[in-house]
């Protein structure tokens, strides 16, 4: 097991290295000049030249790459050409909000999706099943920003049950250690701050979690239906086992395998897909920052962001593979 983990982690190095080369070349192949974009149309040639030189854009690409890589290995993601701030600092400030949102969305998707998918399969062909299948279809096609506005309008504006925007009520003078607000509240024992952050997360997480929720409902339903028809489930029934035991040990355990894979695949999408939700709920996450960086061709920010997402994605899927092995002995690593 340990050897498997080490091998998989070691494999990450060439993958990320390759990705960084691709990214580097790719981003610079995009039309536009970062210095010109930054300074606007009426910038003097001298100013453009000064910025270009300041960020090293005038050097040959391979030299730029090696410089970038050297800094990267020391944990320096470079300086944003748009804000002039160190990229890492901005990330540490903004990523926690996005990660918190993505995790909450994933929790909603998993904790609701698996039981709902299971219930649909148990009542295969019944009204609840049809409702859930139809609902999950709707859930995958509804635009996230539309749903986000709708939720906000109904539950925050009209009913006033939940806050309309932000991550925390500013009147709560919370201490922020990690910038994960929920976690911060727990660490500093400011329970009300933590709870307020949770309350603020509900609507955005619902909006962001709808697509993965719908997908998990469908995968769970299909998977449970398939497993229920398997011979070993009939064997379990022929043993006269209690229904709950048949479900838990023989149906669910096997049905969870495809669901695990799906959850892993959704994680990357959640992180990169949070932009719209963050915008609607005025959450100061990575989304808006990234949007501005794209429009100004802020190379260091874009590179850092994509590399980070790739790293998270790879780690989550490694975790999925490990837990897959825990559930299914046939793929267990020796």
Binding site residues, other proteins, CB under 8 A: 230-232, 234-243, 245, 249-250, 253-254, 327-330
- Element (DSSP H or E) covering residue 324: helix 299-327
Q: How far is the CB of 122 from other proteins (least distance, A)?
A: 12
| Rounded-to-integer distance, Cα 74 and Cα 86, Å | 13
Task: Name the CA radius of gyration of the chain, rounded.
Answer: 24
Query: Cβ closer to other proteins: 41 or 231?
Result: 231
- In the chain, DSSP finds a helix count (H) and a strand count (E) of 15, 0
Q: How far is the CB of 245 from other proteins (least distance, A)?
A: 7
Phi-psi sector, 84: left (phi>0), alpha (psi -120 to 50), beta: left
Query: Cβ closer to other proteins: 60 or 127?
Result: 127
Query: Cβ closer to other proteins: 103 or 241?
Result: 241
Buried b (16+ CB within 10 A) or exposed e, 298-325: bbbbbbbbbbbbbebbbebbbebbeebb
Q: How far is the CB of 243 from other proteins (least distance, A)?
A: 8
Query: Cβ closer to other proteins: 7 or 234?
Result: 234
**Residue in 90, 100, 89 with CA at minimum distance from that of residue 166:** 100
Residue with tokens 């229904």: 243
Q: How far is the CB of 322 from other proteins (least distance, A)?
A: 15
Q: How far is the CB of 232 from other proteins (least distance, A)?
A: 4
Query: Cβ closer to other proteins: 101 or 224?
Result: 224
- Positive or negative CA dihedral for 257, 259, 265, 267? negative
Q: How far is the CB of 287 from other proteins (least distance, A)?
A: 39
Assess contact for 300 and 79: CB atoms under 8 A.
Answer: yes
Contacts 24+ apart (CB under 8 A), 238-242: none
- Positive or negative CA dihedral for 1, 20, 71, 274? negative
Name the token pair of 210: 């709808």
Q: How far is the CB of 9 from other proteins (least distance, A)?
A: 26
| Rounded-to-integer distance, Cα 90 and Cα 308, Å | 13
Q: How far is the CB of 244 from other proteins (least distance, A)?
A: 11
| Rounded-to-integer distance, Cα 155 and Cα 147, Å | 12
């Amino acid at each position: 097991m340990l050897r498997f983990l080490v091998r998989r982690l070691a494999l990450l190095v060439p993958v990320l290295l390759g990705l960084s080369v691709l990214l580097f070349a790719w981003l610079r192949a995009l039309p536009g000049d970062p210095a010109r974009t930054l300074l606007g149309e009426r910038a003097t040639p001298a100013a453009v030249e000064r910025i270009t030189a300041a960020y090293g854009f005038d050097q040959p690409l391979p030299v730029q790459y090696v410089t970038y890589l050297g800094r990267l290995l020391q944990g320096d993601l470079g300086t944003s050409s748009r804000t002039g701030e160190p990229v890492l600092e901005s990330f540490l400030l903004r990523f926690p909000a996005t990660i918190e949102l993505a995790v909450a969305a994933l929790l909603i998707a998993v904790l609701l999706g698996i039981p709902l998918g299971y219930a649909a399969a148990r009542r295969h062909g019944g009204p609840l099943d049809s409702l859930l299948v139809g609902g999950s279809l709707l859930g995958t096609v509804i635009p996230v920003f539309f749903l986000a506005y709708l939720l906000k309008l109904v539950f925050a504006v009209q009913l006033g049950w939940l806050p309309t925007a932000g991550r925390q009520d500013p009147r709560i003078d919370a201490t922020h250690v990690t910038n994960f607000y929920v976690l911060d509240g727990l660490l500093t024992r400011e329970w009300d701050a933590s709870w307020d952050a949770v309350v603020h997360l509900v609507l955005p997480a619902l909006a962001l979690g709808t697509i993965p929720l719908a997908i998990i409902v469908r995968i769970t339903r299909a998977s449970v239906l398939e497993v229920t028809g398997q011979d070993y489930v009939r064997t379990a029934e022929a043993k006269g086992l209690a229904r709950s035991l048949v479900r838990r040990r023989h149906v669910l355990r096997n049905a969870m395998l495809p669901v695990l894979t799906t959850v892993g695949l959704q994680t990357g999408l959640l992180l990169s897909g949070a932009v719209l939700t963050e915008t609607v709920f005025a959450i100061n996450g990575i989304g808006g920052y990234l949007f501005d960086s794209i429009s100004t061709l802020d190379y260091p920010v874009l590179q850092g962001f994509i590399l980070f997402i790739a790293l998270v994605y790879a780690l989550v899927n490694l975790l999925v593979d490990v837990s897959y092995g825990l559930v299914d002995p046939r793929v267990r690593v020796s």
